[in-house]
Amino acid sequence: MAKSFKYVILGGGVAAGYAAREFSKQGLNAGELAIISKEAVAPYERPALSKGFLFPESPARLPGFHVCVGSGGERLAPEWYQEHGIELILSTEIVKADLAAKSLSSANGETIEYQTLIIATGSEVIRLTDFGVEGADSKNIFYLREIDNAEKLYEAIKEKKNGKAVIVGGGYIGLELSAVLRLNNVDVTMVYPEPWCMPRLFTPDIATFYEEYYANKGVKIIKQTAASFTANSDGELKEVNLKDGRVLEADIVVVGVRARPRTKLFKGQVEQERDGIKTDAFFKTSVDDVYAVGDVAMFPMKMYGEMRRVEHVDHSRKSAEQAAKAIKAKENGETLEEYDYLPYFYSRAFDLSWQFYGDNVGETVIFGDKDPKSANAKFGAYWIKNGKVFGVFLEGGTQEENKAIAKAAKLQPPVENKDQLAQEGVSFATSL
């Protein structure tokens, strides 16, 4: 017999946990809500995988980083779901979704029916095998998205103690994993095709600081080249072959070259736009009683007046809460404010910690001490468009300063003199 629920959240990541908590706050009867996840564990804070999980000393482990500790809330261990009458359907892959019939079919033949569905399937890593890269199926090439990936990488680091690693990619995953592997005393080389690291956010000036800082920590960086791989007779990774002809020895390769939203199940059934599932400001899709949140949602970014898709844990949390509130508001005949999201990104690596708010469009104004050898490097940037602040980046900010730059990005104050703004630096934001 098919299982049936009033609400089903498809996906067991960050968004699922925060949506479940919001449903509970709004009022939920036992047995009404189920979370379906192909992972074997309850929802957890995914950013821990590229940071604390791989620490050489006292590494983070579940249940320590179950949601919702990432935002300072109560940790929702598996027992919490049981106590609140929420069914966790784990280790279950959904292979067919029939939105018209309101049913989901699993790989093991189960059918799960629902009245309201929240699609929270997140993203999947893009693998080098997808592009036919030579040797990309060799052993000891790792990707990092789920806890199983992190566990395998952790074991490989221990097995190849003091070994050599090549990180393919210069974005979030590349920068954070390079740092944590150096903490494990691994010889690290970063390889990426772009002219500087984190090109979707960093300017060349900002990137130079991080590249030099990492070099001072012993991370070798090779830019503007691609890689293929050579394995030994056992199929285990042996060498990384760069497009420019260089050959690198490697015991471990970790690939972080973007991700794609998991939307294949719903193709042709719901309106999509640029790889995302199109929603309104309440994350309702074009299909009645179907909502989409987190990485898969293409939603109206109110403050910029355009549709966007955002891959970040902060948006996953907040969009999930908005959808749960919207579902309950609709049932109760109540109104709800539209989602008004301020883009937010952050990272922590080595002794560094940066935050960015807003939109990185327009001209940049750099301020502060960005000497990578400085004991107290602290710098930032404002993005100025049409004479107003559109985005703010700050490395090494205090809690109060980070709140101030968020406020500045939200208020979009006018800038009359860019040279003066560079001199004022973060004090411009704190004075608002």
pLDDT in tens, 178-188: 999 999 999 99
Judged against a pLDDT cut of 80, whether residue 230 lies above it is answered with yes
Residue 21 clears pLDDT 80, i.e. is over it: yes
Residue at 407: amino acid letter? K
Give the predicted TM-score (pTM) of the model. 0.95
The string of DSSP letters for 110-148 reads -EEEEEEEEE---EEEPPGGGGT-TTTT-BTEEE-SSHH
Percent of the chain residues topping a pLDDT of 70: 100
Residues 6+ apart with CB under 8 A from 141: 128, 229, 237, 253, 254, 255
Arithmetic mean of pLDDT, 191-218? 96
Name, in order, each residue with C-beta under 8 angstroms of 57's C-beta and a sequence gap of 6 or more. none
Q: Is the predicted pLDDT of residue 212 greater than 90, yes or no? A: yes
66-91 burial, b for 16+ CB within 10 Å, e for fewer? bbbbbeeeebbbeebbeeeebbbbee
Taking residues 5-18, what's their average pLDDT?
A: 98
Q: Does residue 1 have a pLDDT over 90?
A: no
% of the chain exceeding 90 in pLDDT:
97
Give the CA distances from residue 35 to residues 94, 257, 317, 338, in Å, rounded to whole numbers and listed in that order: 12, 29, 15, 25
Class of domain 351-430: alpha beta
Q: Which fold has domain 128-257?
A: FAD/NAD(P)-binding domain (3.50.50)
- Residue 162: the pLDDT is 87
Summarised one tens digit per residue, pLDDT across range 380-399 is: 999 999 999 999 999 999 99
**Domain 3-124+260-332 fold:** FAD/NAD(P)-binding domain (3.50.50)
Phi, psi of 227 (to 5 degrees): -135, 150
Radius of gyration of the chain (CA): 23
pLDDT at 266: 98
Q: pLDDT averaged over the chain?
A: 96
CA quadruple 202, 206, 212, 216: dihedral positive or negative? negative
H or E element: which one contains 368?
Answer: strand 363-369
pLDDT band at 375 (very low <50, low <70, confident <90, very high): confident
Give yes or no for a contact between 311 and 295, defined as CB atoms under 8 angstroms apart. Answer: yes
Residue 316 confidence class, pLDDT cut points 50, 70, 90: very high
The residues spanned by each domain of the chain are 3-124+260-332, 128-257, 351-430
pLDDT at 342 over 90: yes
Decide if 293 contacts 116 (C-beta within 8 A): no
For 114-164, the pLDDT digits (tens) are 999 999 999 999 999 998 999 999 999 999 999 999 999 999 999 988 899
Q: Is the pLDDT of residue 193 over 90?
A: yes
CATH topology identical between 3-124+260-332 and 128-257 = yes
Spatial distance between the Cα atoms of 33 and 6, rounded to a whole number of angstroms: 6
